[in-house]
Amino acid sequence: MPSPQLRAMLARDGIFNTRDLGGLTTRAGVQVAPRRLFRADALQRVRGSGAALQELGILRVLDLRDDLEREKSGEISVEGIKVEHHPVIDPAFAWHSEEEVELRDLLYLRYCEILSEFAPRFVGALRSIAEVVDVSGATPSGAVAYHCAIGKDRTGLLTALLLSILGVDDQVIAVDYAKSSAATAVQVQWLWSFGLPGGESNDQDLEIGIWSARPETMLRTLAYLDAEFGGAERYMVEQGLERDVINTLRESLLLGQN
């Protein structure tokens, strides 16, 4: 997790859902290296917290938002940090729809739809992460941050794929995903205070709807990957992710693997 001081700086910039994935443990008992992977929200709002991100050693930020979102709200601009665009979905993607589904199933169904329709989008993001964290190359490795609008859905799916490839248990992935629920309530209040889209979300949206981050939603999503593709690793390999990239991720992001 970022330090209390960094969390306060990020919050002043309107960023509430950023954390270090270091310390999570794989099924084999190996920890993810700290200060290498940061999942985040809305890094385009970075102002005063830019220097702190530099101090964390972040060399690259992957922006998972679509082109329209970036056009409307810009992107992070911090000296020494390269920004890459890896839009997970198209601007026309509908989070809400007129189909008759239970509210508590809606987010899971949207995740399945994203994984089904936009699978190749995740390949470029994982290649980029491997490129920066690679400890075997001639150039010094660094840290990577990636973000979408609220740091929960697109960011959550990329995190789930990456952690699963590293060997982290589904339950651990789901617990990390659910940490976003504490941030979304703050985000909704922040958006409401500025009259921005999302601020009108209600308690049901936060509890079980599109703004929720329930562990069972992620567990169902990972079960979908197992049932349809044989797991996250096979899913990514089928989309073209090279075994060399997978090996680099493991060797560079797991303590004691290099």
Specify the amino acid at residue 245: V
Name the more confident of 214 and 135: 214
Average pLDDT of span 44-55: 91
Q: What's the mean per-residue pLDDT of the chain?
A: 91
Average pLDDT of span 155-175: 98
Q: Give the Cα separation of 38 and 61 in Å (integer).
A: 9
Q: Of the given ranges (5-14, 76-85, 195-204, 237-246), which has the lowest mean pLDDT?
A: 195-204
| Whether pLDDT at 201 is above 80 | no
Average pLDDT of span 148-177: 97
pLDDT one-digit tens code per residue, 56-113: 999 999 999 999 999 999 999 999 999 999 999 999 998 877 677 888 999 999 999 9
Average pLDDT of span 42-64: 93
| Whether pLDDT at 191 is above 90 | no
CB 164 within 8 A of CB 170: yes
Q: How confident is the model at residue 207 (pLDDT cuts 50, 70, 90)?
A: confident
Name the more confident of 190 and 55: 55
- Report all structural domains of the chain as residue ranges with CATH numbers, in order of start: 4-241 (3.90.190.10)
Give pLDDT, residue 32.
Answer: 97
| Whether pLDDT at 23 is above 90 | yes
Q: Which residues of 228-241 are buried (b: 16+ CB within 10 A; e: fewer)?
A: ebebbbebbbeeeb
Name the more confident of 189 and 4: 189
Give pLDDT, residue 163.
Answer: 98
Give pLDDT, residue 98.
Answer: 66
| Whether pLDDT at 121 is above 70 | yes
Q: In 10 A of CB 162, how many CB atoms?
A: 25
CB 38 within 8 A of CB 133: no
Residue 157, both tokens = 């799916």
Give pLDDT, residue 199.
Answer: 65
Give pLDDT, residue 99.
Answer: 72
pTM, rounded to two decimals: 0.94
Average pLDDT of span 39-56: 92
154: Cβ contacts below 8 Å, ≥ 6 apart: 64, 65, 88, 89, 114, 148
Q: In the chain, what percentage of residues exceed pLDDT 90?
A: 72
| Whether pLDDT at 4 is above 70 | no
Alpha helices in the chain (DSSP H): 4-12, 50-55, 67-73, 103-117, 119-133, 154-166, 170-178, 180-193, 203-207, 215-229, 232-238, 243-253
